[in-house]
Amino acid sequence: MSDLYADFAADYEWLFADDVVGSTPAPGATSAAGRDLLNAALAALAPGAPVLDCACGIGTDALALAQRGFTVTATDGSSSMVARASERLAASGSQVTVLQSRWQDLPARLTGRFDLALCLGNAIVHTGSTRAMVESLASIRDVLAPDGKLIVDSRNWELMYSSWPRVITAPRVRERHGLRCTSLYIWTIPDSFDRPCQAEIVFLFENHAGELSHHRYELTFQPFRRDGLRKAVESAGFRITADSFDPAAQSYALTAARA
């Protein structure tokens, strides 16, 4: 499988505010829809409990969890994201195990069992099909302790397909590393859930001399409805215990326990 984030990983931090990608992020900072569910799940864990972030991206949530005292393992299917997460976590001094793994390969790659698994950042859409989603979620279930829980989030694809946004801009310009940057999503959304949609993600950079440049990335998504995600989670051997879905909100999250 190709690495969708091969080059994107270097610019990924520009999608988030400074407090999200800084040295002391809050757990769930990259997933507004899942933050309350995550905080509730963390409050029920024992100090030092094993937690798996299996869509770790550049390591923001893994860092936040480690700073809260949990024993964290961070995985991602993208080697570029794993490399970036490893750099950030090493620089912070956090003791986090980081490795590249597809969801389907987690049972073979991990020997421990986890009290909580996170699959945040709208990552599950990259499975590409209902069958692959169920297989991926079942593999996450297999690395959980008997009373372990999963938190998974998603973009509200039903809202996207009903509103058909074309261009979504970042809320503000950010300045880091001697650069100013803003980003925008350019969406191509079909009229049916049977067809995938595409996002062009454009980063506009300005250096100290006022010179402009840009980086552009294309991602394709095969979306699903909320009931499709719920059915996939249940088919993978989970029982849903909480759901933050709001028809008017951009994203939502589910908490699920092993059935």
Q: What's the whole-model pTM score?
A: 0.95
What percent of the chain is predicted at pLDDT more than 70? 99
Which of 14-18, 30-34, 153-157 has the lowest average pLDDT? 30-34
- Interval 158-185: pLDDT, tens: 999 999 999 999 999 999 999 999 999 9
Which residue in 196, 249, 73 sits closest to 144, CA to CA? 73
pLDDT greater than 80 at residue 3: no
Q: What does the mean pLDDT of the chain come to?
A: 95
CATH of domain 158-221: 2.20.130.10
At residue 81, the 3 state secondary structure works out as helix
pLDDT at 32: 87
pLDDT at 59: 96
pLDDT at 6: 81
CA 167 vs CA 127, 162, 187, 188, 200: distances in Å: 25, 15, 6, 9, 9
What percent of the chain is predicted at pLDDT more than 90? 91
pLDDT at 5: 81
Where residue 2 falls among pLDDT bands split at 50, 70, 90? low
CATH 3.40.50.150 is the classification of domain 8-155+224-258: yes
Domain boundaries, the chain: 8-155+224-258, 158-221
CA 182 vs CA 32, 84, 212: distances in Å: 20, 21, 11
- Interval 101-139: pLDDT, tens: 999 999 999 998 999 999 999 999 999 999 999 999 999
3-state secondary structure 42-80: HHCCCCCCEEEECCCCCCHHHHHHHHCCCEEEEEECCHH
Q: Stretch 14-30: mean pLDDT, rounded?
A: 91
> Same CATH fold, 158-221 and 8-155+224-258?
no
Mention every residue, 6+ apart, whose C-beta is less than 8 A from residue 18: 174, 176
| Pairing of the two strands 167-169 and 179-188 | antiparallel
Assigned token pair, 211: 């010179």
Q: Using CA atoms, how far apart are residues 26 and 107, in angstroms rounded to an integer? A: 28
Helices then strands, counting H and E runs in the chain, come out as: 8, 12
